[in-house]
Amino acid sequence: MPEERAAIDLPTGELEQLRALVAEQAKLIELLRQRIAELEARLAKDSHNSSKPPSSDPPFRKPPPRSQRQVSGRKPGGQKGHKGATRALVDNPEHRVVVPLQGTCTCGRCRSQIPVEVLPERRQVFELVMRREVTEYRIVAGACACGRMHRSEFPEDISAPLQYGPGVSAFAVYLTQYQLLPFERTATMLDELAGIEISPGTLYTAIETAAERLEAPVVAIREALVGAAIAHADETGMRVGGGLQWLHVLSNASLTAYFAHPKRGGEALEEFGLLARFRGVLVHDHWRAYTLFECLHAFCNAHHLRELIAIAETIPSQQPWAEDMIALLCEANGLTIEARGAGFAALPGPLVLDIQERYDAILEVAQARNPARKPPPGTRKRVRQSPAYNLVQRLSQKREAVLRFVTDLRVPFGRVEVWRGDFRFGLSVADPFGCRCLSIQTIVPFPHPARRTRRADFPQRALFQRIKPSHANGRQAAAQGVSVPRSHRGTGRSIGGTPFPSCPACASTRSADAARRSRRSGGTSDRPGLG
């Protein structure tokens, strides 16, 4: 017979102490577990799940995919019915060369003696000519019949023995302020390509002159932005003379105003002088300084998508709501894009209401998963809340600003204009003779195309990495006796009889989702995604 273990009798007081110790240790373990998860999430942050720039990504990590497009089965190149684009020939070329006949005819006659006519067929060669063009001014002197000597005068704008024309100055300003070439390299380029020797100090003088002449256009741009219906605001840090300053931006699709200031918050925005008078819809991140101004606000949902991705990647099994919110925001964005393309002024009311209800249902689950952390008993110490809790509170309390792109089709999904290049000029401002322009907030750049970046353009590009949004089908789940929240169900939608597809990023994951669900259930699944 196995030896029976004798029961250990402990005093009641000691037993209670052990139970209290175990409970206290359990709380400590839970706090440490949360802390470890936060530290791991911090280490895993890069440009795809945070606001960190792509340049800060680890060099040895495989870059994230640029797109989630699947193989279509079509041949590479232009498809049938595709309207091609060919550069047109110019009507007035600088040079025209008529190619003569050469050689001899089979009859033995020289072809150069044959009468010819110029045919309509033509071909043109485009060439870039970089050369110096010097114009010399000479004055004259002469004596009148009365004996008085007369001497001509140089034009007023020709004030030095050697100076540079407006073309050189404009090109130098363009290279330094738009193409962002350092002063030394700009001077070297002009010397090597055009034979124009120019000093960095002369380049700096040209920039100051351009800044003075642009004061009136800058004022006009600022006033136009104040009266705009939609404007985007953001700020980024930059180095000025070795110290940190903040470059503030207010822009729309065609205009941009810059303002550099040592401060980031309300003091700088007040001195900027534009937001206090702006009464349109201001698209921005959730920086608190922007929310203090009396205008309509719309939050940048590209920021939200990256935050949601970071939360979903930390502990996927504990934060499934993040994937559902990603899918809902992308689906809503796809609907608004289709509605604008179809010429609708607004989404139908029932569709907007449905999106809002699903949004609220997802947040109910999120709030239950992420309760507020309480301070230790007997203390009033402020407890730092988790990133998931902070995001859930923001999405709940600022629902109107988050979903404004759904209720107002003029509002974009995020800050497209700011991301696509306004901060291309937020660079280091150091010694003007060695690096960048000091008048960066005064010079108004030309419109420029989207910069190449590893951060995906939303919403069609891959903001998802390992995230695969799962969408439960209500009818199939009901047949299996499973209750599925409304926010998890995929429903077919249309406006005016035209169906709206789901977000391409979600649609591209349907086959992978179906295969994964099939492996889990041991059978097959034909559940569609959002659409």
441 confidence band (pLDDT: 50, 70, 90): very low
CATH 3.30.420 residue ranges for the chain: 215-297+414-458
Question: Quick one: average pLDDT of 263-292?
Answer: 92
Considering only 264-268, 290-294, 350-354, 444-448, which range has the smallest mean pLDDT? 444-448
DSSP symbols for 20-34: HHHHHHHHHHHHHHH
Contact (Cβ atoms closer than 8 angstroms) between residue 454 and residue 492? no
Q: Is the pLDDT of residue 504 over 90?
A: no
Percentage with pLDDT > 70 across the chain = 72
Which segment of 219-228, 312-321, 339-348, 370-379 scores lowest on mean pLDDT?
Answer: 312-321
Local confidence band at 424 (pLDDT 50, 70, 90 cut-offs): low
Q: Would you say residue 359 has pLDDT above 80?
A: yes
Token representation of residue 204: 């700096």
Q: Which amino acid is at 195?
A: G
Three-state secondary-structure class, residue 405: helix
Whether 290 has a pLDDT exceeding 90, the answer reads yes
Confidence of residue 4 (pLDDT cuts 50, 70, 90): low
The Cα 278–Cα 267 span in angstroms is: 16
Between CA 392 and CA 362 the distance in angstroms is 10
Average of per-residue pLDDT across 467-495: 37
Model pLDDT, residue 291: 92
Give the position of tokens 């060369």: 97
Class of domain 215-297+414-458 (CATH, top level): alpha beta
Lowest mean pLDDT among 33-47, 388-402, 413-427: 413-427
Q: Is the pLDDT of residue 451 over 70?
A: no
Residue 469 pLDDT > 50, yes or no? Answer: no
Q: What angle do CA 340, 341, 345 make, to 5 degrees?
A: 30
Q: Within 10 Å of residue 477's Cβ, how many Cβ atoms? A: 15
Q: Which amino acid is at 415?
A: R
Residue 509's pLDDT is 38
String of DSSP letters for 44-75: T--TTTSS--GGGS-TTSPPPPS--PPP--PP
Q: How confident is the model at residue 380 (pLDDT cuts 50, 70, 90)?
A: confident
Describe the chain by its helix, strand, coil percentages, rounded to 5.
40, 10, 50
Q: Are 480 and 493 in contact (CB under 8 A)?
A: no
Helices (DSSP H) in 132-228: which residue ranges?
Answer: 166-177, 183-194, 200-213, 215-226
Angle at 83 between CA 81 and CA 87, to 5 degrees: 155
Range in 51-55, 96-100, 154-158, 522-526 with the lowest mean pLDDT: 522-526
For residues 14-43, b (16+ Cβ closer than 10 Å) or e, as one string?
eeeeeeeeeeeeeeeeeeeeeeebeeebee
- Given pLDDT bands bounded at 50, 70 and 90, which one contains residue 58? confident
Residue, of 465 and 22, whose pLDDT is higher: 22
| Average pLDDT value for residue range 482-509 | 39
Distance CA 257, CA 225 (A): 8
Answer whether 358's CB lies under 8 Å from 331's CB.
Answer: no
Nearest C-alpha neighbor of 372 from the set 390, 357, 355: 390
Identity (one letter) of the amino acid at 59?
P
Least confident interval from 130-134, 270-274, 506-510? 506-510
Tokens describing residue 118: 């110029």
Question: Is the pLDDT reported for residue 378 higher than 60?
Answer: yes
| Range of weakest confidence among 23-32, 185-194, 282-291, 328-337 | 23-32
Confidence of residue 172 (pLDDT cuts 50, 70, 90): very high
pLDDT tens track for 33-47: 878 877 877 777 777
Between residues 130 and 422, which one has the greater pLDDT? 130
Q: Give the CA distances from residue 361 to residues 68, 328, 358, 447, 478, in Å, rounded to whole numbers and listed in that order.
A: 28, 11, 5, 42, 18
Share of the chain above pLDDT 90, in %: 42
How does residue 442 score in pLDDT terms, banded at 50, 70 and 90? very low
Over residues 310-319, mean pLDDT: 76
- pLDDT value for 49: 67
What is the model's pLDDT at position 438? 31
pLDDT given for residue 512 in this prediction: 45
Question: In the predicted model, what is the mean pLDDT of residues 254-276?
Answer: 92
State the pLDDT at residue 19.
85
What's the pLDDT at 60? 67
Q: What DSSP string runs through 112-129?
A: GGS-----S---------
Tokens of 265: 């918050």
pTM: 0.65
| Separation of alpha carbons 385 and 394, rounded Å | 13
Secondary structure of residue 472 in the 3-state scheme: strand
pLDDT of residue 226: 95
**Lowest-confidence segment of 128-132, 201-205, 290-294 by average pLDDT:** 128-132
pLDDT at 367: 93
CA 191 to chain centroid: 36
Determine the Cα–Cα distance for residues 463 and 50; give it in Å rounded to an integer: 11
Average per-residue pLDDT in the chain?
Answer: 76
pLDDT value of residue 422: 56
Model confidence band, residue 48 (pLDDT cutoffs 50, 70, 90):
low
Please compute the mean of the pLDDT values over residues 162-173 and round it to a whole number.
92
Among 249, 296, 531, 166, smallest CA distance to 415 is for: 249
Please name which of 279, 271, 290, 275 lies closest in space to residue 228, comparing C-alpha atoms.
279
